[in-house]
Amino acid sequence: PASGPLVISTWKQIKANEAAIAVLSKGGSALDAVEAGVRIPEADPNDTSVGYGGLPDRDGRVTLDACIMDEKGNAGSVTFLEHIMHPISVARAVMEKTPHVMLSGEGALAFALAQGFKKENLLTKESEKNWREWLKTAQYKPVINIERHDTIGMLAIDSKGNISGACTTSGLAYKMNGRVGDSPIIGAGLFVDNEIGGACATGLGELVMRTCGSFLVVELMRQGRTPQQACEEAARRITSKQAYKDIQVGFLAVNKQGQHGAYSIQPGFNFTLYQDKTNRVLEAGSFLK
């Protein structure tokens, strides 16, 4: 029984899912699907949490984090990468063309340029305007406006039943220069084990990193939890240990059977699911009501 094709993405990502579906429906791999899918928000100037048009750090620099993981357990990641429109494709190149998992900052940029990626200005007029507005008070409150999260984590299952995942972000707006979040960290923002399932996270990355969130979700599924139960337990792991009233974290998971789970701390976390030929935005359950 085929559990795929299935695509699930954090937040409202109808178009990203469509790009992934286009790959899967031609018999393409889950890996190709997730890469093609998350490239959509990376290139979208109106998505202020990913790639081009992403809000900058407090110094006005757009710095990007991304990772990708395939069904064989291979992984690639870039962190603190500037000037490249598609960090997910650089992460894939790290996975496929280097002996490493993660490249960072200037080294990652040099690698990208050597691979033929183009150097571009990713700070749009609109993002720059927002940043200049922010500079007037320069108050850094890592309080998440949950509506402003668009980091994309995507999991896909192809027609062979193989699972891959991708995650890409410009990170938290007005973060400190050099700050890296959960999104490019294998096991935090994303984890895939093709025997079990996959998981990804969005929200305040520091909380996800401190709990190895996505790895935890997959391990909980390995121990017999459904994807939904695993996401809820991972969220509880955060709320039982840390102050959570003003922060948002959301988890998505799929298992090998094609069941999915979604859960967040605050209400307002939605996700986009393509399954049984329908692509739609759904609301996740949440710890706080």
DSSP 216-268: HHHHHHHTT--HHHHHHHHHHHHHTTS--TT--EEEEEEETTS-EEEEESSTT
Q: How far is the CB of 249 from ligand SD4 (least distance, A)?
A: 8
Please identify, using beta-carbon distances, which residue of 23 and 75 lies nearer to ligand SD4: 75
Task: Give the residue among 195, 200, 188 at the shortest CA–CA distance from 222.
Answer: 195
Q: How far is the CB of 175 from ligand SD4 (least distance, A)?
A: 7
Count of beta carbons in the 10 Å neighbourhood of residue 46: 10
**151 belongs to the catalytic site:** yes
Please identify, using beta-carbon distances, which residue of 52 and 275 lies nearer to ligand SD4: 52
Which residues carry a binding-site annotation for substrate? 179-182, 202-205
Task: Give the residue among 201, 117, 197 at the shortest CA–CA distance from 151.
Answer: 201
Distance of CA 271 to the CA centre of its chain: 12
Question: Which residue of the set 10, 48, 79, 151 is catalytic?
Answer: 151
d(CA 155, CA 169): 15
Task: Give the residue among 148, 174, 142, 171 at the shortest CA–CA distance from 246.
Answer: 142
Please identify, using beta-carbon distances, which residue of 169 and 286 lies nearer to ligand SD4: 169
Residue that is written with structure tokens 């049984």 in the block: 276
Please identify, using beta-carbon distances, which residue of 171 and 227 lies nearer to ligand SD4: 171
Task: Give the residue among 276, 269, 274 at the shortest CA–CA distance from 252.
Answer: 269
Q: How far is the CB of 1 from ligand SD4 (least distance, A)?
A: 33
Distance of CA 42 to the CA centre of its chain: 11
The binding site for ligand SD4 (CB under 6 A) comprises 49, 149-151, 169, 171-172, 181-183, 202-205
| Active site (catalytic) residues | 151
